[in-house]
Structure 1
Amino acid sequence: MKSVTIQSLKEKLDSIDIIDIREVEEFNALPKLKQAKHIPMNQLIQKPESYLNKQECYYLICRSGARTANVTQYLDSLGYNVINVTGGMLEYYNERKA
């Protein structure tokens, strides 16, 4: 499974396809990246072909990186080019506060 840290993406956020897989309530209640497209995890894993193109690269982010690790493995096994953002939104916002 491919993974990257949020720190390594900071300069690229405007030029990559990043998908936030948090559920609707969590996505609406907590901070989010303006560059991220929101596709809840259950929707994405049930019908990945509706959202993803196997020719494109996507970065997946969630609250902590745990869900995206599992989803990245699953989608990779189906032939999608997906990369897990380790640490997720928690790491992104903790670093911004420092």
Structure 2
Amino acid sequence: MTELRNVAPTEVPEGAHLIDVREQSEWDAGHAPTARHLAASSLLEKLDELPEDGDLYIVCRSGGRSFQVSQWLNANGYDAINVAGGMDQWFESGLPMVSDGEAEPFVL
């Protein structure tokens, strides 16, 4: 079994396939502007929404769910990379965020 690759939020390349696996309320509060939302709880029903080319950078709030999702994806033929530290670290690193509301984006 291949060891799971981990990167810091600051190491996610521009234009990467960034998949946010948090739940809807977490996504609405704040997310990376280029991320695609695909909650871990509905992953199996929405596999067809994953890009088929290139690495998938998987992010959650702190890195736990994304680690598990990345392991599962890799075991099932995808090239997944865990974004260690998740959106907590993304926010702390000063990387851009947007929200689906009028409030300033934050990590829920």
Q: Normalising by the residue count of structure 1, what TM-score does the alignment of the two structures yield?
A: 0.83
Measure, in 1, the Cα distance between the counterparts of 2:51 and 2:86: 23
RMSD of the alignment, in Å? Answer: 1.8
Deviation at 1:48, TM superposition (A): 5.4
The 1:32/1:55 distance shift into structure 2, 3 A limit, reads closer
Deviation at 1:7, TM superposition (A): 1.7
The 1:78/1:54 distance shift into structure 2, 3 A limit, reads farther
1:5 aligns with 2:8: yes
Per-residue CA distance 1:12-70 (angstroms, 9 max, x = gap) = 23x111011100111112x21001011111222x1353122554311001101110001
**Consecutive unaligned residues in structure 2, runs of 5 or more:** 96-108
79-88 or 50-59: bigger deviation = 50-59
How many residues end up aligned between the 2 structures? 92
Q: Normalising by the residue count of structure 2, what TM-score does the alignment of the two structures yield?
A: 0.76
**Consecutive unaligned residues in structure 1, runs of 5 or more:** none
Identity, % of aligned positions? 30
By percentage of residues, which structure has more helix?
1
